[in-house]
Chains A and B, each alone.
Chain A
């Protein structure tokens, strides 16, 4: 079985992470949603084209093209995108227009823009890639589905597989998901949200892409040992042990545990059993920096990758210091809305 390496990675989010191996600095926010810091689009997208693109496509193309540039890849062998609900701006525009005008004023631009696979299609157009082109809309499992599919592709012999996750925030989405209890009802400083003690998370948005290949190219290749989804279960202990077993690793081999804690006091308790398995590992979180959204775990995977490349995460991410020594193996456990568990194992 061939191994799979991340040979290029790039993220966009509420922290200054674009085209970097680690956040430039950590930005505090007193209000949410935490909006993505959008880089200069002209590097990859002509201004005329950029104007016609939805925000999701802009963020996704920028991080996707940057990941490929960092990997030295021009045309990906496959493009696999995860997004919780795609181009929300277009969907909301079409829906509102349809309701307000009682189905009498057509808006083809918004309809086309709301097609859920438009980001993956636009990356194919931008790169001339005729290969496999998939889009997963699987809530908190969207990115992990894309990553698991990417691993399968590398096993099947496809080179330079682009996988990523992206979601955007809109005012309507902030309102509607407040109803479902996803967000905090109040503003909390993001650097203090993990200790907030009440329900809900801070809303966020962002994009992260990775180029996967069977050859460890580039200056800092990171191996993706495994990616697994577990739906609707609470206790990950057996799944985690099983995953480590399959990789020939023991609990003591994990140097850093990255958790998807988001400041929702109920939700965050679910990580306790995973954390208890690794008494010696360092423990880090990232959602206080990125905000919560369907594919926040794509940025989480970027933070895990970044910690391996840089020898550790930013100090603002650390929940618990580990025993000293280099960080070689990272286990990432993410959980979204009490049901969607992702387990990702990375190794340098």
Chain B
């Protein structure tokens, strides 16, 4: 195993501020609703009621409760025709983040980096047959072009008038953590002033059946880090942060909610879908993110772990935590016990929760934990804990293809 070189950033000290947050998840359609559910230990996971799948009765998931028409109304979309659910979720979350930050998305030097794994799949899987009939189905022409993961980004960018750096990342479960990392790097390099970074993934039959085929979905509510864990629950969400350069923030006297102070993306180079059992990739991502943040492990006050609830992930992530933090692992939580695994959105969802934990001095609970693992007996946060001084939070997202990303979210300067 050779050591990866550490990035030598041009301006490693330049702060990357977070000035806006936007989220739609099973916990609610804005930041206050999400915070409220987290503090009150109210999970968003339950029986599938909206998605039309034959597994609805047996596989719990965390659905956003709104229909597509309701999401279009919430976003005050004038013409919602051929908007996929991924685009609708994304637009709502982006609007909330922009409103909080008070930035103009159509200004020069504003970038939009969005992540998705399923893209328009929730629409195209329902009308796939219509694309191939002769003549094709009546709406096939408009919908066929919404299938790929990049479409939602361009759809939202066109709606908001963004014309500069517009791109889509799809690196499985680390996708939107990678969107935030790229945004932070572009700001540090002086390429952009403002970046809207995050991701969106609607629940689809494709992903439900795909993860089910890998036999890593729990038929009960997921129990990350628990001895009895039996897999993950899927969820759907969209989440975005507004990243801003220090100069731009000062020029408009805006308020920093926090900073992206560290980031790293590494690859296991171990297996297509499994993490290395020793957690090598997770260790590399976490330790390199700390180095970029110029923090020692002791500097981390809280960890929002990847913590999917699969046998493989939680064991390898636990080993990586022990290797990095020894017997002083900071309080850690898998908020996937609330939101399910929201795939490409997960990294941004959890970066927002990390910032909320810091801002409100609260540790959220890792729900349903009872018994520690036999191999690595570590215990997460058991209930909502107020009154904590939290300055630096590590947030990790690990994905298929050995793709591991860790972010460090820090308090405002």
Contacts and interface: CB of A to CB of B under 8 A. Distances in A.
Chain B associates with chain A: yes
B169 to A, nearest CB: 6
Interface in A109-155: 111-112, 114-118, 120-122, 124-125, 127-139, 141-142, 145, 148-149, 152-153, 155
Contacts of B131: 172, 175-176, 179
A108 interface: yes
Contact of A94 (B206, B272, B401): B206
A157 interface: yes
A132 B107 CA distance: 30
Contact of A156 (B4, B9, B117, B151): B9
B334 interface: no
A77 interface: yes
Interface stretch (A97-105, A251-259, A269-277, A314-322): A97-105
A135 B172 CA distance: 9
A307 B85 CA distance: 44
B8 A156 contact: yes
A94 B210 contact: yes
A157 B178 CA distance: 19
6 contacts: A99-B129, A108-B214, A112-B273, A116-B117, A149-B182, A152-B189
B172 A179 contact: no
A116 B170 contact: yes
A136 B178 CA distance: 11
Contacts of B213: 106-108, 111
Given A75-B2, A152-B185, A229-B165, 6 more contacts: A103-B209, A107-B213, A111-B214, A120-B171, A130-B267, A294-B148
B169 A137 contact: yes
A117 B163 contact: no
Contact of B149 (A94, A133, A134, A137): A137
A99 B128 contact: yes
Main secondary structure of the interface of A (DSSP, over half): mixed
A112 B1 CA distance: 25
A324 interface: no
Given A138-B167, A179-B136, A99 B125 contact: yes
Interface string A216-243: 0000000000000111110000000000
Residue among A128, A153, A179, A232 with most chain B CB within 10 A? A179
Given A120-B401, A157-B8, A159-B5, A136 B168 contact: yes
A3 interface: no
A177 interface: yes
A85 B117 CA distance: 10
Given A103-B53, A149-B182, A133 B402 contact: yes
B147 A85 contact: yes
B261 interface: no
Chain A residues touching B, range: 35 or more
Contacts of A86: 170
B312 to A, nearest CB: 14
A133 B266 contact: yes
Contacts of A112: 214, 272-273, 400
Interface of B: 1-2, 4-5, 7-10, 53-55, 116-117, 119, 125, 128-129, 131-132, 136, 140-141, 144-145, 147-151, 153-154, 157-158, 162-172, 178, 182, 185-186, 189, 191, 205-206, 209-215, 265-273, 281, 284, 399-403
Contacts of B165: 148, 229
A26 interface: no
Contacts of A125: 269-272, 402
A180 B120 CA distance: 15
Contacts of A328: none
Given A139-B151, A142-B150, A156-B8, A95 B265 contact: no
Contact of A176 (B5, B144, B172, B206): B144
A158 interface: yes
Nearest to B280: A130
Contacts of B116: 137
Contacts of A116: 117, 149, 170-172
A117 B399 contact: yes
A33 interface: no
A108 to B, nearest CB: 4
B267 A131 contact: yes
B55 A133 contact: no
Interface string A33-55: 00000000000000000000000
Given A115-B172, A130-B2, A138-B150, A98 B163 contact: no
